Amino acid sequence: MARCFKRRARGATRDPMAASIPVTRHPRRPPPPMVSLRLPHPCLPILLSLSTPPLAEVRADRVSLVLHTAYHAANSPWGVRAWRWHIMADGKRAGTISLRDGHSHVFTHLLGHIGFAVDAPFRGQGLAGLAVLALLPEAARLGLDTVWITTTPDNAACRRTLERIGCTFVEAVPIPPWYATYGKGERTKLRYRLAAGSESHPGRRNE
Ligand SMILES: CC(C)(COP(=O)(O)OP(=O)(O)OC[C@H]1O[C@@H](n2cnc3c(N)ncnc32)[C@H](O)[C@@H]1OP(=O)(O)O)[C@@H](O)C(=O)NCCC(=O)NCCS
């Protein structure tokens, strides 16, 4: 009895048979991989586009776009990531075009993703349409696959520009009283959709 007590005190097993069973040490299992490399994570394209810097210059047929400002959401006039380019024609600044990376109702229904203006002396050459088409691959590269462009029913030049470059007219929507241009008398927005990227657009004007 005294001998048995002594063995236990030294940490020996209670089962004398167990002591004779050899202990097999298994090699340590490798940890599971943190990320599956077979399929890219669905967020990867978004994360990559968020870190994609804009091109300083986009060259296209008859126009080029020279980056004027790249906004972070914090310093953007629209509260979202955005960019503004000069529209250049024959080496001269002819207007401006903006791209806004917003996805709320304001961007899809009221303000749109793209806004543009051509300075009065340069109008009549279809430069706005050319600038929008030039911007599309860059918009796709920056993460916008579909862009919404809006205008008002009385803006015939803008409507014609959008139709000419192959935008799809989707609908007319009421402007809510809380929206800034309501106070200026605007009541209706026309929503046009355009696929970004390098697909061909039926109305693309290359002459
Ligand atoms: C809209 C704007 C950018 C278009 O400039 P632009 O590229 O020089 O456009 P153009 O003058 O070449 O006109 C484009 C088309 O509209 C037509 N158009 C122009 N003014 C028009 C008018 N008052 N009524 C009907 N059609 C008109 C042109 O005939 C042309 O059609 P076409 O391609 O069949 O020849 C320019 O008028 C502008 O800066 N306007 C003020 C800002 C603005 O409204 N921005 C758009 C916000 S959605």
Q: Which domains are delineated in the chain? A: 45-195 (3.40.630.30)
Residue with tokens 């002396």: 121
- pLDDT tens, residue by residue, 72-109: 999 999 999 999 999 999 999 999 999 999 999 999 99
- What pLDDT shows up at residue 73? 96
Is the confidence at residue 26, as pLDDT, over 70? no
- Tell the residue number behind the tokens 């205008």, with chain if given: 151
Q: Is 203 in the pocket of ligand 1 (CB under 6 A)?
A: no
CB neighbours of residue 168 within 10 Å: 13
Mean pLDDT of the chain: 85
Q: Would you give the distance in Å from CA 160 to the centre of its chain?
A: 26
For residue range 7-17, list pLDDT tens digits in order: 444 544 556 55
Confidence of residue 135 (pLDDT cuts 50, 70, 90): very high
Range of 44-48, 193-197, 202-206 with top mean pLDDT:
193-197
Q: Is pLDDT of 194 > 70?
A: yes
Is there an atom of ligand 1 within 6 Å of 118 CB? yes
Q: Is the pLDDT of residue 71 over 80?
A: yes
126 Cα nearest atom in ligand 1: 12
Q: Which residues contact 190 (CB under 8 A, 6 or more apart)?
A: 150, 151, 152, 153, 159, 169, 171, 172
164: Cβ contacts below 8 Å, ≥ 6 apart? 126, 129, 203, 205
- The count of C-alpha atoms lying within 13 angstroms of the C-alpha of 119, restricted to the half-sphere facing its C-beta, is 11
Q: Which of 86, 100, 118 to mutate to test the pocket of ligand 1 (most atoms within 8 A of CB)?
A: 118
